[in-house]
Amino acid sequence: MSNTATNNRETMGFQAEVKQLLQLMIHSLYSNREIFLRELISNAADASDKLRFEALHNDSLFENDSELNIRISYDKTAKTLTITDKGIGMSRDEVINNLGTIAKSGTREFFSRLSGDQQKDANLIGQFGVGFYSAFIVADKVTVTSRRAGEKSDQGVRWESDGGGEFAIEMIEKAARGTEIVLHLREGQDDLLSGQKIRSIIRKYSDHIVQPILMKKEEWKDGTQQILEEDETVNQAFALWARAKNEISEDEYKEFYKHVGHDYQDPLAWTHARVEGKQEYTQLLYIPSRAPFDMWERDAIHGVKLYVRRVFIMDDAEQLMPRYMRFVRGVVDSSDLPLNVSREILQESKDIEAIRSGCTKKVLGLLEDMAKNDAEKYTKFWGEFGRVLKEGVGEDIVNKDKIAGLLRLASTHADTSDETVSMADYIGRMKEGQDKIYYITADSFNAAKNSPHLEVFRKKGIEVLLFSDRVDEWLVSNLFEFQGKALVSVAKGGLDLGKLEDETEKKEQETVATEFKDLIDKISSSLGERVKEVRVTHRLTDSPACLVADEHDMSANLARLLKSAGQKAPTSKPILEINPKHPVVLRLKIEEKRFDDWVSVLFDQALLAEGGQLDDPASFVKRVNQLMLEMHSN
Ligand code: ADP
């Protein structure tokens, strides 16, 4: 950040990403400009909540005025709109950090993905959240003055910017604690300078805000609008979640989501319930329609706020939701927890455990309903959050089966990775005599779909699930069965198709195994330490050979994943299986001079086919070329 100081006024540059965000926002949200007021009121409400909470431990923060409200006023002559709160306020450093940078991790990567195509990039705003900066949609200058509750009156701070590359900051006197935001409206925004207009925007977007939103009363007198001294509360000013369900409209639920979820798009779905019993609490939980940009960051926030008897306690209460539900947003309001509950207490609290398990069940129930009754919506959910939900299979033993039922997986039954099936669908389509769910893991959809391991399954028309997300290895290592059917990797252990093979096939395999015994031994000694075992296979129809992992060894895909993540993976040797019907294998039976080269190529190509990396690629290439030349001269 650059800065030049005059007296105590300093000019600083915005973080590069803020500049981009501002540009993007002004252009893409213009048609939706009214949302700026919702965002600023939302921030004012959060700041008031924070003060009320901090004051629980330190009453003096109220500075003898504990009445929290948000005031909106306008000035037709100066063309300004002002939002004033009596919340926690900001110190100088906080103003600089909060209104000059974006502190979320992953921001830089996110912005580096922008294409420069305004239409496309505008779409991404939704993943980011708009917040304070939306003020610049309607204002060409914004002045923020703030003083942190409890600080002396000369510790006020003024921030000012025209939304270009810089902002100015200086220390000032400010008697009232909290924050005041003055918007100097752009040309063409005069319609916002009307009591009626502002009231209608507040009622539309901010009715659910808990603090009263005050405006001066107005009346028509002698043909002009007169602003009176008397205040009027414009919103309902009552906690939405504490109201009865049947009294809340869809739109109210949606607007409330935008406030708690810091999102400007509608939520995908929600569940609202009051739970009575040993623990009494109200939950209003939302599923967003889009994943936030930072969902994969380690410190990505969990979006559920904790309230105790309608007093805000904390944001991002990670104990309220399991990690694999970190996409859920909303509010939990407990009737039983003490007001002075801290994060440390929450970590150990049995009460919180009960709430978490209740909330988790609710969300799973919501998803099950959606999957059953609105497949299209569920597909949308899955596209955004499926990979996160998958983590639950390993993380949440209690709900494992439920989560497994919610999985949507790529399969040989469909052609593209977008078309997915459920495990229940899979079971419904199982062949007569099939008693297992077959799957393969690979590091891409194509590698899975085209794997030689699938050949026999294709021939017999048996469906195989295709796993290619990073999280899938973790998933299959925790999911052993579904509805009583075992999950079996087609690339691990001996292939036992059970009743899917008839007696003739089994007999034939036995004969072939004896027939090929000598060749197997020869290949085995040629490969030596590179393999655990060599054997004849009947999984292949088109390929000459493939590698499989031993029953209890780690899958090759997982070993590669671990290695690429810089972790140690046990080095277990693969089993080489050869296709006794393949011409190359038959040719091996008579090969003498070049036997070792043939075998080596066979092994290496089996490794390549499953997405592995060769130890010594140059030698492989040399061998192949040599063999090609010899073929030619034969
Ligand atoms: P978000 O609210 O999503 O975090 P914003 O850009 O809206 O993002 O605000 C950034 C931060 O600035 C907030 O998290 C808060 O810490 C601070 N802030 C904004 N408005 C106020 C306010 N009226 N009072 C106190 N702090 C505020």
- CA of 82 relative to ligand 1 center, distance in Å: 16
pLDDT band at 495 (very low <50, low <70, confident <90, very high): confident
Average pLDDT for 433-458: 93
Q: Is 395 left (phi over 0), alpha (psi -120 to 50) or beta?
A: alpha
Distance 88 CA to ligand 1 centre (A): 11
> Please, what's the b/e burial string for 452-468 (b: 16 or more CB within 10 A of its CB; e: otherwise)?
bbbbbbeeeebbbbbbb
Closest-CA residue, ligand 1 atom 13, reads 98
Say which residue, 12 or 556, is predicted with more confidence. 12
Q: How far is the CA of 44 from the centre of ligand 1 (A)?
A: 8
Q: How many CB atoms lie within 10 A of CB 510?
A: 9
d(CA 98, ligand 1 centre) in Å: 6
Q: Which atom of ligand 1 is nearest to 83's Cα? A: 23
* Distance from C-alpha of 252 to C-alpha of 498, rounded to nearest angstrom: 57
Distance from the CA of 395 to the center of ligand 1, in angstroms?
Answer: 33
- pLDDT at position 5, please? 45
Say what percent of the chain tops pLDDT 90. 66
Q: Distance, CA 132 to ligand 1 centroid (Å)? A: 6
Fold classified for 244-373:
Ribosomal Protein S5; domain 2 (3.30.230)
User: Hey, which of 25, 90, 98, 301 would you mutate to test ligand 1's pocket, going by the most ligand atoms within 8 Å of its Cβ?
Assistant: 98
The Å distance, Cα 38 to ligand 1 centre, comes to 13
Length of the chain in residues, anyone?
634
Residue range 183-196: mean pLDDT, rounded: 96
Average pLDDT, the chain: 90
Q: 30: buried, middle or exposed (CB in 10 Å: 19+, 13-18, 0-12)?
A: exposed
449-477 tens-digit pLDDT: 999 999 999 999 999 999 999 899 999 99
Rounded to the nearest angstrom, the distance between the alpha carbon of 43 and the centre of ligand 1 is: 5
- pTM of the full predicted structure? 0.85
Q: In 3-state terms, what secondary structure has residue 556?
A: helix
pLDDT in tens, 131-173: 899 999 999 999 999 999 999 999 999 999 999 889 999 999 9
pLDDT of residue 632: 65
pLDDT at 448: 93
Protein residue with its CA nearest to atom 8 in ligand 1: 131
Q: Which atom of ligand 1 is nearest to the CA of 50?
A: 25
- Mark out the alpha helices in 420-541 (DSSP H runs): 423-428, 445-449, 455-460, 470-476, 503-515, 517-527
State how far the Cα of 161 lies from the Cα of 143, in Å rounded to an integer: 7
- Sign of the C-alpha dihedral, residues 37, 332, 302, 149? positive
Q: Whose CA is nearest to atom 20 of ligand 1?
A: 43
Which pLDDT score is estimated for 61? 96
Higher pLDDT, 354 or 110: 354
**Cα end-to-end span (Å), the chain:** 72
Protein residue with its CA nearest to atom 14 in ligand 1: 98
How confident is the model at residue 598, as a pLDDT? Answer: 93
DSSP classification of residue 337: S
**Pair 86, 69: CB distance under 8 Å:** yes
Q: Where are the domains of the chain?
A: 3-215, 244-373, 409-499, 502-633
Q: What is the mean pLDDT of residues 276-283?
A: 91
Element (H or E) spanning 19, and its range? Answer: helix 16-28
- Kindly give, in sequence order, each residue whose CB lies less than 8 Å from that of residue 631, ignoring residues fewer than 6 positions away: none
DSSP string, 72-94: EEEETTTTEEEEEE-S----HHH
Average pLDDT (118-136) is 77
Q: How far apart are CA 6 and CA 198, in angstroms?
A: 38
DSSP 312-328: EEESS-GGGS-GGGTT-
Which residue's C-alpha comes closest to atom 2 of ligand 1? 131
- Reading the block at residue 294, the tokens are 């930072």
Say how far apart CA 363 and CA 343 lie, in whole Å: 23
Residue nearest ligand 1's atom 16 by CA: 98
Which residue, by CA, sits nearest to atom 4 of ligand 1?
A: 131
Q: What is the pLDDT confidence band of residue 519, given thresholds at 50, 70 and 90?
A: very high
pLDDT band at residue 264 under the 50/70/90 scheme: confident
- Ligand 1 binding pocket, CB closer than 6 Å: 39, 43-44, 47, 85, 87-90, 98, 129, 131-133, 179, 262
Structure confidence by residue, pLDDT tens digits, 345-363 = 888 888 888 999 999 999 9
For residue 271, the CA-to-ligand 1 centroid distance in Å is: 27
| Three-state secondary structure call for residue 425 | helix
Q: Which atom of ligand 1 is nearest to the CA of 89?
A: 25
Query: If you average pLDDT over residues 368-389, what whole number do you get?
Result: 96
Side-by-side strand order, sheet with 213-221 = 3-6, 9-13, 166-172, 156-161, 139-147, 178-185, 80-85, 70-75, 213-221, 224-233
User: Residue 544: is its pLDDT beyond 90?
Assistant: yes
The tens digit of pLDDT for each residue in 598-621 reads: 999 999 999 998 888 898 999 999
**Cα 141 to ligand 1 centroid, rounded to whole Å:** 18
Percent residues over pLDDT 70 in the chain: 97
Q: What's the pLDDT at 385?
A: 96
Question: Using CA positions, which residue lies closest to atom 18 of ligand 1?
Answer: 43
Please report the atom of ligand 1 found closest to the CA of residue 85.
23
Per-residue model confidence (pLDDT) at position 215: 97
Which residue in 459, 467, 484 sits closest to 421, CA to CA? 467
Pairing of strands 9-13, 166-172: antiparallel
pLDDT of residue 342: 78
**Separation of 221 CA from ligand 1 center, angstroms?**
39
Q: Which CATH superfamily is domain 3-215 in?
A: Histidine kinase-like ATPase, C-terminal domain (3.30.565.10)
Among 3-7, 102-106, 122-126, 409-413, the range of highest mean pLDDT: 409-413
Report the pLDDT value the prediction gives residue 1, as an integer from 0 to 100: 45
Contact indicator for 604, 614 with CB cutoff of 8 Å: yes
Please name the residue whose Cα sits nearest to atom 15 of ligand 1. 98
633 pLDDT more than 70: no
- Of the two residues 506 and 139, the one the predictor is more confident about is 139
Poorest-pLDDT segment among 29-43, 121-135, 220-234, 395-409: 121-135
Q: Which of 68, 99, 132 to mutate to test the pocket of ligand 1 (most atoms within 8 A of CB)?
A: 132
Listed residue (444, 387, 379) closest to 418, CA to CA: 379
Average pLDDT of the segment spanning 243-251 = 95
Question: Closest ligand 1 atom to the C-alpha of 131?
Answer: 7
Averaged pLDDT, 250-276:
93
Burial class, 484, CB count within 10 angstroms (exposed 0-12 / middle 13-18 / buried 19+): exposed
Residues 252-275 have a mean pLDDT of 93
In degrees rounded to 5, what are phi and psi of residue 551?
-40, -50
Question: For the chain, what is the radius of gyration of the CA atoms?
Answer: 32
Compute the distance from residue 388 Cα to the ligand 1 centre, in Å: 28
From residue 605, give the alpha-carbon distance in Å to each of 126, 146, 547, 602. 46, 67, 10, 5
pLDDT, tens only, 213-237: 999 999 888 888 888 999 999 999 9
What is residue 248's DSSP assignment?
Answer: S
Second CATH level (architecture) for the domain 409-499: 3-Layer(aba) Sandwich (3.40)
Specify burial of residue 517 (Cβ count, 10 A radius: 0-12, 13-18, 19+): exposed
Centre of ligand 1 to C-alpha 31, Å, is 23
Q: How far is the CA of 33 from the centre of ligand 1 (A)?
A: 19
Query: 216 - beta bridge partners?
Result: 231
**DSSP secondary structure letter of residue 573:** P
502-633 CATH, one of 1.20.120.790, 3.20.20.370, 1.20.58.340, 1.20.1300.10: 1.20.120.790
pLDDT at 4: 47
pLDDT category of residue 499 using cuts at 50, 70 and 90: confident
Counting ligand 1 atoms within 8 A of each CB, the residue from 29, 36, 40, 43 with the most, and so the one to mutate, is 43
What's the Cα-to-Cα distance from 454 to each of 435, 451, 464, 466, 477, rounded to whole Å?
17, 6, 8, 10, 20
Which of 167, 173, 154 has the alpha carbon at shortest distance from 10? Answer: 167
Nearest to 309 by CA among 332, 329, 286: 332
Question: How far is it, in rounded angstroms, from Cα 573 to Cα 612?
Answer: 13
Taking the CA of residue 42 as reference, the ligand 1 atom at the shortest distance is 2
